[in-house]
Amino acid sequence: MAEAFLGLGGNVGCVRANLEAARQSLAARGVDIRGLSSLYRTEPWGRADQPEFLNQVLRVETELAPRELLELCQQVERDVGRGSRDRWGPREVDVDLLLYDDEVIQEADLQVPHPRLAQRRFVLVPLAELAPARRHPTEGRTVAELLEEVTDERGVERAREI
């Protein structure tokens, strides 16, 4: 079994329901969710002309290889209703493979760890909630250290429960 961390996010439609549907879809397909962060309201990354996001990180165990897990994440996005792939644009759901054990993979369509993980406060905050002592395989620093050093100033706050 491999330990992986997945980033979930969305800002279109009923986002809480979309994130729940993504979690259920992953679990129904053999991904064992072992931990989930709180939900966080976050300012958009890349394009400011869109609604704020809800983001969350999952700690999972899986027998899937990294590429298989990536393909499953993409299938879950489609199943939940993700529309266009406009880079950094609005989306019903996004499921990103952030970390997979301590592996480093650099392929055209698969990069682990996620190439912008250390630059994004909206990923580091929920990841630090789950695994602050986890070392980034290429940066060599813990998630907590990366969070202290991140220059991203976008707002990230815990979402209120409803």
DSSP letter string, 7-69: EEEE-SSSHHHHHHHHHHHHHHTT-EEEEEPPPEEE--SS-SSSPPEEEEEEEEEESS-HHHH
Is 94 noted as a catalytic residue in this protein? Answer: yes
Residue corresponding to tokens 């809800």: 54
Is 91 noted as a catalytic residue in this protein? Answer: yes
Please identify which of the residues 82, 120, 121, 134 carries the catalytic annotation.
82
Segment holding 74, helix H or strand E:
helix 66-80
Burial 80-112 (b: 16+ CB within 10 A, else e): bebeeeeeeebbbbbbbbbbbeeeeeeeeeebb
Bridge partners, 42 (sequence order) = 53, 156
Please identify which of the residues 23, 59, 94, 121 carries the catalytic annotation.
94
Is 32 noted as a catalytic residue in this protein? Answer: no
Give the separation between CA 24 and CA 49, rounded to whole angstroms. 30
Is 82 noted as a catalytic residue in this protein? Answer: yes
Whether 98 contacts 113, CB under 8 Å: yes
Please identify which of the residues 16, 23, 79, 91 carries the catalytic annotation.
91
The residues assigned a catalytic role are: 82, 91, 94, 96
